[in-house]
Amino acid sequence: MRTDIVELDADHPGFNDEEYRLRRNELAAQAGAHKAGNPPPHVDYTDSENATWATVYAELSQLYPTHACCEYLDTLNGLGLSADRAPQLRDIDDYLCEKTGFHIQPVAGLVESRAFMKHLANRAFPSTTYIRHHSAPQYTPEPDLCHEILGHVPLLAVPEYADLMQLIGEGAEGASDEQITQIGRLYWYTIEFGVLRGQDKKVRAYGAGLLSSPGELAHAVEERPVMRHFDFEVARHLENPITTFQPVLFEVCSIKEAFFQVGAAIERIRHNL
């Protein structure tokens, strides 16, 4: 009987693709064998995987100049990503380590919240290595390499954002399950779906869920779901939809403000306020 390391839901775009499922198992095994402190393993991405990367990269690159926050744009250029070849986590790890001391921890897939935040507390970012299914380059039901690299990595090279990530991780240390859930919600409405409204009053994304999804990035900036100034007392009671665009987004005026807002919210969570 066949044993899969990676279970895909029946509605996953790659569910009926045997080759894709074997590839996911192969990359999961490779990531699972990685030892913290070693450089991430080299992955020989196939022509199909590189083509999917190229499609996602091309579409998002057109939006970034007008839709991504300035901090993101500054470091995206410094990363020197290829438009047609998926990047290697080893190169990303070197880059981030030099910029902010963050490391990349390769993982097989979604990491349980407490373990994920423990990595952040240690200035390590858990990153998948697989690429979304080629039949649906605009959509992935789970984080993939495109999400990690185009959503999170450029900002992990920004000191304020790197510190924000570590702050969230440290906030989860010794927390109860309910407190972890609340910190997860903070992460969702800042790190994944946060927007900035800077001095020019334009809305720009810093959330990785927006920056790695052409459809949701365009929707957030052009069509404007409900925007509120960041308010944890509102955010903590909202559901966070996974399969639809976010109906409410929270804005801050800078990543530094996000750091202070998140710090204050963690204080409230840890004191059960």
Give the active site residues. Answer: 147, 152, 192, 212
Distance CA 273, CA 269 (A): 6
Nearer to Fe ion, 208 or 252 (CB): 208
Side chain identity at residue 99, one-letter code: K
Q: Which residues contact Fe ion by CB under 5 A?
A: 208
Closer by beta carbon to Fe ion, 40 or else 143: 143
Shortest distance (Å) from residue 265 CB to Fe ion:
19
Closer to Fe ion at the Cβ: 242 or 273? 242
Q: How far is the CB of 29 from Fe ion (least distance, A)?
A: 22
Shortest distance in whole angstroms from residue 208 CB to Fe ion: 4
**35 exposure class (CB count in 10 Å sphere: 0-12, 13-18, 19+):** exposed
Q: How far apart are CA 226 and CA 219, in angstroms?
A: 11
Nearer to Fe ion, 145 or 203 (CB): 145
Q: How far is the CB of 209 from Fe ion (least distance, A)?
A: 6
Element (H, E) at 105: strand 103-107
Query: Helices marked H in the chain — which ranges?
Result: 18-32, 47-67, 70-79, 89-100, 113-121, 145-146, 153-156, 159-171, 177-187, 208-211, 214-218, 232-235, 255-270
